[in-house]
Amino acid sequence: MPTSSASIAVYAGTFDPITNGHKDIVERGLAVFDGIHVAVADSTSKQVRFSTEERVELVRGALRGIEGEERLKVESFTGLLVDYVASINASVIVRGLRAVSDYEYEAQMAHINRHLMGSIETVFLVTSEENSFISSSIVKNIASVGGDISRLVPPNVAKALSEKQA
């Protein structure tokens, strides 16, 4: 059982859009931690399709009804992730790994976060095999040419992407 300082974890990202892979990490994280804050990055260097408010609502809709939903909080944050983590008295960042190629970037981010705030740990969860090829970028690319994304994202996200394309 996690200690009280590690009982709340933060799963942060752009979530543009949230995918079934992201949802899988949240569900599996809830099996490890007492609660998870899904933190949607407000300011990002990435080109986003959805506004911050839209992404927060898409994440909330995608996670509605999952087991442990009452232990989730979804909100946006601005600035450094470590500052957000500290502001909610959490000490763990959860990150998902799809492939070895993700590890280099994620390890670099984990090291810099520890450098910035030594009390924060990063825990990596390996994405389930059936979700290992899914990324938000791939989903957006498929959706942009009218491809079927229904098995890659929650239904509310498929609908929202379809409406954005129209």
* Active-site annotation holds for 136: yes
Q: Which of 24-33, 43-52, 76-85, 118-127 has the lowest mean pLDDT?
A: 43-52
Q: Which of 22, 23, 55, 140 is catalytic?
A: 22
The half-sphere exposure of 43 on its side-chain side, counting CA atoms within 13 A, is 4
**Each residue's pLDDT tens digit, 144-159:** 999 999 999 999 999 9
**Each residue's pLDDT tens digit, 17-42:** 999 999 999 999 999 999 999 999 99
pLDDT for 6 beyond 70: no
* Active-site annotation holds for 98: yes
Q: For residue 28, what pLDDT is reported?
A: 96
What is the average pLDDT across 55-82?
A: 97
Q: Which of 28, 98, 159, 164 is catalytic?
A: 98
Q: What is the DSSP letter of 69?
A: G
Q: Which of 49, 60, 136, 140 is catalytic?
A: 136
Amino acid (one-letter) located at 72: L
* Active-site annotation holds for 55: no
Q: For residue 100, what pLDDT is reported?
A: 86
Q: Which of 4, 46, 64, 137 is catalytic?
A: 46
Q: 69 and 36 in contact (C-beta within 8 Å)?
A: no
DSSP string of 93-151? EEEEE-SHHHHHHHHHHHHHHHHH-TT-EEEEEEPPGGGTT--HHHHHHHHHTT---TT
* CATH code: domain of residue 131: 3.40.50.620
- The whole model's pTM is what? 0.92
Domain count of the fold of the chain: 1
Give the range of the structural domain holding residue 129, as residue numbers without chain letter. Answer: 4-165
Question: In what helix (H) or strand (E) does residue 67 lie, and over which residues does it extend?
Answer: none
Higher per-residue confidence, 43 vs 88: 88
* Active-site annotation holds for 111: no
Q: For residue 4, what pLDDT is reported?
A: 45
Higher per-residue confidence, 52 vs 101: 52
Q: For residue 3, what pLDDT is reported?
A: 43
